[in-house]
Amino acid sequence: MDGDKGGVGDASIGSGVAAPGSPWRRDDGMATVEYALVTVAAAGFAGLLLVILKSDEVRGMLVSILQGALGG
């Protein structure tokens, strides 16, 4: 294996994963992708929360809590 560029310990050739610090590493847009995924997840969670808070049971509980807090 001396001089062979495709050795077992070489992560930058043949495995599809570049070694850290390698000029071939393709994670330039990872932060953008992560922000996009978090934004989509937050929008989905907000939609689910909106559906839950619009239900009559939850609305009744919130009104009773507010009336109790305001002394009504």
Q: What is the pLDDT of residue 18?
A: 63
What residue segments make up the domains of the chain, in order of their start? 30-69
Q: What is the pLDDT of residue 71?
A: 87
Residues contacting 13, CB < 8 A, separation 6+:
5, 6
Q: What is the pLDDT of residue 32?
A: 87
Residue 61 structure tokens: 């509980």
Give me the amino acid identity at 64: S
56 torsion bin: left (phi>0), alpha (psi -120 to 50), beta (else): alpha
39/44 Cα distance (integer angstroms): 9
Regions in the chain scoring below 70 on pLDDT: 1-28, 72
Q: What is the pLDDT of residue 69?
A: 94
